[in-house]
Amino acid sequence: MFNQIHEILFYGQGGYDFETIYNMPIWLRRFTYHKIYEHYETKNNKTDNVDQSIKNMKSVGATNKTHQKVQVPSYVTKASKK
């Protein structure tokens, strides 16, 4: 019970006070706890997906850089000195 109260207070980011959560009906406290839990689970999954895609992009870029040579365009010429 106190673990749920702590989690709701902490992850609710100041939206709840101890007395309100403590006196809340059990079914409503469980509902609130699970909604907050789902919110942070979804947020973590999205962050993990973004992190994974960034790692994939970096690894693809690293392999492409090692296999490709930079080619100087043929239209580049030196400017005449006057």
| Amino acid, single-letter form, for residue 48 | D
7-37: pLDDT as tens digits: 888 888 888 889 888 988 999 999 999 998 9
Q: Is residue 79 part of a domain?
A: no
Mention every residue, 6+ apart, whose C-beta is less than 8 A from residue 36.
Answer: 7, 8, 11, 12
Residue 52 in any domain: the answer is: yes
Does the residue 16 lie in any domain?
Answer: yes
Give domain status of residue 12, yes or no.
Answer: yes
Of the candidates 23, 28, 21, 27, the one whose C-alpha atom is nearest the C-alpha of residue 3 is 21
- Total domains present in the chain: 1
Identify the domain containing residue 21 by its residue range: 2-67
Q: Which residue has the tokens 């580049």?
A: 76
Model-level pTM? Answer: 0.54
Q: Is residue 73 part of a domain?
A: no
